[in-house]
């Protein structure tokens, strides 16, 4: 089976994890701080706070910005539900905005229409490892005095005008889930150049603790969103190879592009000027007359694992029922969800795998 995703973990990384396990020092420690420092250097930011997941990163970011009951946060209508879920969890309202079908990121032309006096922040998502068009979003945020929390869960290493995605807003959030470019099993990170925000999220991730004159104070009602030291050492080893890992993804995307261009019912990812994608997902769109479920089943029978890439949030039971959404409220999000397909991507696939996947796709008949 050519799996949809498979984490790349080198022998060196495994050995370093074993060393940490044998040391008995498992909780947040020196390896966590070393991982944070390496990420600070890689992303060229002042502060990185690693946490237990990408969702935890988003949650802590909203807490640090004091977003809560009565507030509104703008979220793209097509993403993984975690982006909107954390807004609900803090008691605020996620206000959905449709996406574009070029980059599958938030449609900037539709943002201003939903801003109210309750709007506190925008969460642009760098979907599938493709950076959102961030400059106009920054301009809107400045005009309306809004905060920006970048959901860069899929986008470690992605770039917008040669600057790393996730480093433009007040806070940026990353995920180290096994489908991402580097993984710590589960894990995430918050990045910021704002020292006050960095101190708040560090405290929130560790039960609200702050230390002053070697004395522990519980400054906030915090959470336990810490990363373990053996997760961090796994991240350090993979971060050392991140350019190699990303370049392989880009190369496989180019091979996909070249092979799939002859299949007229498939639309491959668009390369956007001034943006570098890391292809966390190689996301294609198929024409409406193609039986997607039948295609997924046929590919599976031929040893190729596929899946959908993201979700139209307004069609998820919770959001549909709570906010009484209708199908056509966000037509691009709906279109994306109905006709998308994620193909295998990662270090586990090679050129011959991509060519085989192409052959399976080209032979498919409804």
What residues contact 287, with CB distance under 8 A and at least 6 apart? 265, 266, 339
Residues paired with 343 in a beta bridge: 282
State residue 151's pLDDT score.
Answer: 98
CATH number, domain at 322?
3.90.1150.10
C-alpha distances (whole Å) from 363 to each of 173, 285, 332, 357, 359 are: 40, 17, 28, 10, 6
User: Does residue 5 form part of some domain?
Assistant: no
Asked if residue 149 and residue 113 are part of one domain, the reply reads yes
Quick one: tokens of 250?
Answer: 């880009």
**340-343, strands of its sheet edge to edge:** 266-267, 282-286, 340-343
Give the residue from 239, 258, 276 where a domain finishes.
Answer: 239
CATH of the domain at 29: 3.40.640.10
Domains of the chain: total: 2
Q: What is the DSSP letter of 364?
A: -
180 is catalytic: yes
**DSSP string of 321-357?**
HHHT--GGGSHHHHHHHHHEEEEP-STT--HHHHHHH
> Are residues 292 and 341 in contact, defined by beta-carbon separation less than 8 angstroms?
yes
The SS3 of residue 104 is coil
Whether residues 295 and 327 fall in one domain: yes
pLDDT at 183: 93
Same domain membership, residue 193 and residue 296: no
User: Does 278 map to a domain?
Assistant: yes
Which pLDDT value is given to residue 215?
84
CA–CA distance from 292 to each of 238, 277, 289, 327 (Å)? 35, 25, 9, 19
Task: Report the pLDDT value the prediction gives residue 216, as an integer from 0 to 100.
Answer: 87
Answer yes or no: is 1 within a domain: no
| Domain of residue 329, residue span | 242-362
Write down the pTM of the prediction.
Answer: 0.96
Domain boundary residue among 239, 274, 306? 239
Edge-to-edge order in the sheet of strand 275-276: 163-164, 159-160, 275-276
pLDDT at residue 92, rounded to an integer: 98
| Same domain (yes/no): 116, 135 | yes
User: Is the distance from CB of 219 to CB of 203 less than 8 angstroms?
Assistant: yes
Phi/psi for 124 (5° steps) reads: -75, 140
**Tens digit of pLDDT at every position of the chain (366 positions):** 999 999 999 898 899 889 888 888 888 889 999 999 999 999 999 999 999 999 999 999 999 999 999 999 999 999 999 999 999 999 999 999 999 999 999 999 999 999 999 999 999 999 999 999 999 999 999 999 999 999 999 999 999 999 999 999 999 999 999 999 999 999 999 999 999 999 999 999 999 988 777 788 899 999 999 999 999 999 999 999 999 999 999 999 999 999 999 999 999 999 999 999 999 999 999 999 999 999 999 999 999 999 999 999 999 999 999 999 999 999 999 999 999 999 999 999 999 999 999 999 999 988
- Claim to verify: residue 186 and residue 288 sit in the same structural domain: no
Do the Cβ atoms of 251 and 241 come closer than 8 Å?
A: no
User: Which secondary structure element, helix H or strand E, spans residue 220, and what is its range?
Assistant: none
Residue 263 φ/ψ, nearest 5 degrees: -95, 110
pLDDT of residue 40: 98
Burial pattern 12-44, b for ≥16 Cβ within 10 A else e, equals ebeebbeebeeeeeeebbebbeebbebbeeebe
| DSSP string over 66-103 | T--TT-EEEEESEE-THHHHHHHHTT-EEEEE-B-TTT
- Look at residue 107 and tell me if it is in a domain: yes
Question: Catalytic: which of 110, 180, 200, 276?
Answer: 180
- Regarding whether 200 and 349 lie in a shared domain, the answer is no
Instruction: Tell me, yes or no, whether 3 lies in a domain.
Output: no
């Amino acid at each position: 089976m050519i799996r949809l995703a498979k984490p790349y973990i080198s022998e060196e990384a495994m050995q370093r994890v074993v060393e940490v396990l044998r040391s008995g020092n498992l909780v947040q420690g020196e390896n966590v701080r070393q991982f944070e420092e390496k990420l600070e250097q890689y992303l060229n930011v002042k502060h990185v706070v690693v946490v237990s997941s990408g969702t935890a990163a988003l949650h802590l970011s909203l807490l640090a910005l004091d977003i809560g009951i009565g507030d509104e946060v703008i979220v793209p209508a097509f993403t993984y539900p975690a982006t909107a879920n954390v807004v609900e969890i803090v008691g605020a309202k996620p206000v959905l905005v449709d996406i574009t079908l070029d980059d599958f990121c938030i449609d900037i032309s539709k943002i201003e229409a939903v801003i109210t006096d309750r709007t506190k922040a925008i969460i642009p998502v760098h979907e599938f490892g493709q950076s959102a068009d961030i400059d106009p979003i920054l301009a809107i945020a400045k005009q309306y005095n809004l905060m920006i929390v970048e959901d860069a869960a899929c986008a470690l290493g992605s770039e917008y005008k040669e600057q790393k995605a996730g480093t433009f807003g007040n806070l940026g959030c990353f995920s180290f889930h096994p489908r991402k470019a580097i993984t710590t099993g589960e894990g995430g990170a918050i990045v910021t150049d704002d020292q006050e925000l960095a101190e708040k999220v560090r405290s929130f991730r560790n039960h609200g603790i702050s230390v002053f004159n070697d004395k522990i104070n519980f400054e906030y009602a915090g959470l336990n969103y810490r990363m373990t030291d053996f997760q961090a050492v796994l991240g350090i080893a993979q971060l050392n190879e991140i350019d190699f890992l990303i370049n392989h993804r880009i190369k496989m995307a180019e091979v996909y592009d070249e092979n799939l261009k002859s299949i007229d019912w498939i639309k491959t990812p668009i390369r956007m000027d001034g943006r570098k994608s890391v292809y966390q997902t190689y996301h294609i769109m198929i024409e409406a007359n193609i039986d997607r479920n039948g295609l997924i089943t046929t590919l599976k029978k031929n040893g190729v694992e596929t899946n959908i890439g993201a979700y139209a949030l307004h069609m998820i039971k919770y959001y549909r029922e709570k906010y009484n959404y209708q199908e056509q409220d966000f037509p691009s999000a709906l279109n994306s969800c109905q006709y998308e397909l994620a193909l295998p991507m990662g270090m586990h696939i090679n050129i011959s795998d991509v060519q085989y996947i192409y052959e399976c796709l080209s032979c498919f008949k409804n």
